[in-house]
Homo-oligomer: A and B are copies of this chain.
């Protein structure tokens, strides 16, 4: 406890030394066991664990029970273009992937204040809620919750289940085209249910995209809220 203490806690100093050993390449893939690190840095195993936890929270490390602690390989993110005519299937096929949409859940709900405002419909109006999972080449890319006016799109659930495509389901209701009005982006920790569908660890980060699509007459068609794995995806806006 006497060496250049500087008021920095031990676990931070351990974390810094681990970070440095990765930066200078002396550790590239797997870290030594916690017990060994504890001995090397002359601290308790708990202190090492606290340091590793901190680095894992930054995304630098990843611990696997029974196996060890590993340096995270940072794979390039998949670019997902968002624009006036955002279509999932077009985006994916443009990158040489096989798209697929699967219905997770559906129900009919009443429009609350927020949904009524977004969809420009009366409070309490019947809405079809569709929870869908988008997959490209076996890798889950997003889970989306979409709300559609039930009177205008009575068979949206069946049509989506049959085609796996919102675009196609809407076309069957006589809507040849629609466009994106506005997209709001934020990020948060993944909801446990979404983590299951997206095959993500429970402390992962998701990009949350909230958007409204409108038809040619500017009437709202759907309000949707999509969650993307932040470490696999990048949303690209070209203006």
Contact = CB atoms under 8 A, between A and B. Distances in A.
B189 A84 contact: no
Contacts of A185: 185, 207, 234-237
A220 to B, nearest CB: 15
Given A79-B184, A184-B79, A205-B205, A58 B189 contact: yes
- Give the interface size bracket for A toward B: 35 or more
A237 B186 CA distance: 11
- Chief secondary structure at chain A's binding surface: strand
Interface string A32-48: 00000000000000000
A182 B59 contact: no
Interface string A91-110: 00000000000000000000
Nearest to A192: B58
A152 B127 CA distance: 55
Nearest to A74: B188
A239 B184 contact: no
B234 A191 contact: no
Given A186-B230, A189-B205, A237-B237, 15 more contacts: A57-B189, A57-B203, A58-B189, A58-B191, A77-B186, A182-B239, A184-B236, A185-B185, A185-B234, A185-B235, A186-B233, A187-B187, A187-B207, A187-B230, A239-B239
Interface of A: 54, 57-59, 77, 79, 82-84, 180-189, 191-192, 202-203, 205-207, 230-231, 233-239
